[in-house]
C-alpha cells in the first residue's frame, strides 16, 4: 500500500467526532430493549402494535418537517444536489405512509382512533419547532440525518447476522434496515457534514445539542411503546 504523505491523513469529521464522543447515548437509542427484543424474537406483539400506531402519527408530522428542510436547502444551500436528496426523502414518505396503512390493517389497528401519547406529542413538537425559518439549515439537516440514522441503525441490527426476528416483523425491519436506506442516510450525513464544516462555533454547539435531543427523544419514543405491554 502506498504510504500517505505527511498531512494527507483524512481529518475526522464533525459527525464522526460526535458519534465517538456520544457513543453510549447513540447506542442507547439504536440498541434499545424494544429493538433487542425484536432481534431476539422475544418481542411482545402488543408493544410492536403500539409502536406501529404511534409511529404512523409521527411520520405524518415528519412530512412537513422534511418539507421545511427542503425549503431551507432551496434558500441556503451552496450545493444544488441537496435538494434532490431531500426531495427524494419527501417522495419516499408517501410510500411509507401507505406502508403504515397496509401494516395497520394487517395487525387490526384502526389508525383513525390512535391517540398520540405524551412522548410522541413532545417529539412532534420538536419537529414543529425545527420548521421555524429562524432555525439554521445546518441544525435542521443534522436533526433530519440523526432521526433517520437512528432507525437505520436500529432496524439493520434486527436483520443482521444471528438475528431471530419473527418472520412477520422482518418486513418492518427491512423497511429501514435495507442497503438503499443506509445509502440515503449516508447522503444526509454528507450534506450535514458539509454544512457543519462551514458553521460558526455557536451553530456547531446548537447542532450538537440537537443531535443529543434527537437521541433522547428517540429513547423516549421506544420507551412509550414498551410501557404498553
Ligand X SMILES: Cc1ncc(CN)c(N)n1
CA 47 to each of CA 101, 107, 122, 137, 227: distance values in angstroms, whole numbers, following the listed order: 18, 12, 20, 35, 8
147 near ligand X, rule: CB under 6 A: yes
Residue of 148, 177, 191, 199 that binds ligand X (CB under 6 A): 148
- In this structure, the chain runs to a length of 229
82 near ligand X, rule: CB under 6 A: no
Shortest spacing between CB 225 and ligand X, in angstroms: 10
221 near ligand X, rule: CB under 6 A: yes
Burial of 9 (0-12, 13-18, 19+ CB in 10 A): exposed
What residues numbered 37-56 form the site for ligand X, per CB under 6 A? Answer: 55
Shortest spacing between CB 100 and ligand X, in angstroms: 9
59 near ligand X, rule: CB under 6 A: yes
Q: At what angle do helices 81-106 and 179-198 cross, to 10 degrees?
A: 140
63 near ligand X, rule: CB under 6 A: no
Neighbours of 105 (CB within 10 A): 11
What is the CB-side half-sphere exposure of residue 118 using CA atoms within 13 A?
5
151 near ligand X, rule: CB under 6 A: yes
In this structure, what C-alpha cell is assigned to residue 190? 454528507
Shortest spacing between CB 195 and ligand X, in angstroms: 20
Q: How far is CA 182 from the centre of its chain?
A: 11
Q: Is residue 96 part of an annotated ligand binding site? A: yes
Q: Which residues bind ligand X (CB under 6 A)?
A: 55, 58-59, 62, 147-148, 150-151, 218, 221
Catalytic residue numbers, as ranges: 218
Binding-site annotation, residues for substrate: 55, 96, 148
Binding-site annotation, residues: 55, 96, 148
Amino acid at each position: 500500500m502506498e504510504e500517505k504523505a505527511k498531512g494527507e491523513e483524512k481529518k475526522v469529521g464533525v459527525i464522526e467526532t460526535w458519534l465517538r464522543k456520544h457513543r453510549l447515548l447513540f447506542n442507547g437509542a439504536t440498541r434499545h430493549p424494544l429493538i433487542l427484543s425484536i432481534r431476539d424474537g422475544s418481542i411482545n406483539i402488543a408493544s410492536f402494535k403500539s409502536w406501529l400506531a404511534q409511529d404512523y402519527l409521527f411520520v405524518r408530522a415528519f412530512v412537513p418537517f422534511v418539507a421545511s428542510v427542503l425549503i431551507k436547502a432551496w434558500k441556503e444551500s451552496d450545493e444544488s444536489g441537496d435538494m434532490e436528496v431531500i426531495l427524494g426523502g419527501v417522495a419516499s414518505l408517501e410510500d411509507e405512509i401507505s406502508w403504515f396503512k397496509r401494516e395497520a390493517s394487517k395487525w387490526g389497528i384502526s389508525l383513525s382512533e390512535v391517540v398520540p401519547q405524551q412522548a410522541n406529542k413532545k417529539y412532534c413538537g420538536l419537529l414543529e419547532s425545527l420548521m421555524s425559518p429562524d432555525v439554521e439549515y445546518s441544525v435542521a439537516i443534522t436533526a433530519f440525518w440523526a432521526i433517520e440514522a437512528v432507525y437505520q441503525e436500529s432496524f439493520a441490527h434486527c436483520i443482521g447476522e444471528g438475528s431471530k426476528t419473527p418472520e412477520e416483523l422482518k418486513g418492518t425491519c427491512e423497511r429501514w434496515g435495507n442497503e438503499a436506506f443506509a445509502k440515503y442516510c449516508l447522503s444526509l450525513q454528507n450534506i450535514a457534514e458539509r454544512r457543519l464544516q462551514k458553521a460558526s462555533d455557536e451553530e456547531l454547539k446548537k447542532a450538537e445539542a440537537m443531535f443529543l435531543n434527537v437521541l433522547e427523544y428517540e429513547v423516549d419514543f421506544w420507551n412509550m411503546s414498551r410501557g404498553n405491554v
